[in-house]
Structure 1
Amino acid sequence: MAQRTVTIASSVGLHARPAALFVQQASATGLDVEIARPGEDPVDATSILGVMALGAKHGEEVVLTAEGDGADEALDGLVQLLSQDLDAKE
């Protein structure tokens, strides 16, 4: 099982748009991906309600895990995504 820890860069944390973008990318991997705050139970990273219920705020760390072929690459992409301010206006 692959695992990564990343700090949430989005100014609003994993809420609304950032959560939706994260869930969309996690779903696109086709893998079993989970996300958790350190020390808490993980939730399905493809569930918008689960991800938003985490309440992960800007500057907090989350732990991502994935299992299956390509898990390391999938997590690297998700880490890159969460390392950006996904709520910034383009």
Structure 2
Amino acid sequence: MVEVSMIVKNENGLHARPASLFSKAAAKYKSDIKVIKNGDHSKTCNPKSIISLLSLGIYKGDQLTISASGEDEEFAVKELQEFLEKGID
């Protein structure tokens, strides 16, 4: 399992457009991927589902932990981390 934590930089958080792009990026991978908001394991989602991702209500400044487990786990976490670092609005 590979895991990374980071702070959301998008000015408007992960609203519909960036959440859609994030979800599409996650869906490319075979690994099981999870996103945890602010370290609260009750606020966990499968980012391959945009509805699940949007249900977390992710705003600028929130801490997200991205974890992946599977054959392409390193690539999945790296791409999703880079997505959040870019701060796409």
Residue 32 (structure 2) aligns with? 32
TM-score normalised according to structure 1 size: 0.89
Q: Percent identity?
A: 26
Amino acid aligned to 1:11: E
CA contact (8 A) 2:22 2:80 kept: yes
- Distance of 2:41 and 2:70 partners within structure 1: 23
After superposition, the C-alpha distances for 1:12-55 in whole angstroms (9 at most, x for unaligned) are 11111110010000001122111111123321110101101111
CA distance in 2, matches of 1:5, 1:76: 11
**Following TM superposition, where does structure 1 have runs of at least 4 consecutive aligned residues deviating by more than 4 angstroms?**
none
Provide the TM-score with structure 2 as the length reference: 0.90
- Would you say how many aligned residue pairs link Structure 1 and Structure 2? 87
CA RMSD across the alignment: 1.1
| Gaps in structure 1 of 5+ consecutive residues | none
Stretches of structure 2 lacking an aligned partner (at least 5 in a row): none
Matched to 1:40, the amino acid is H
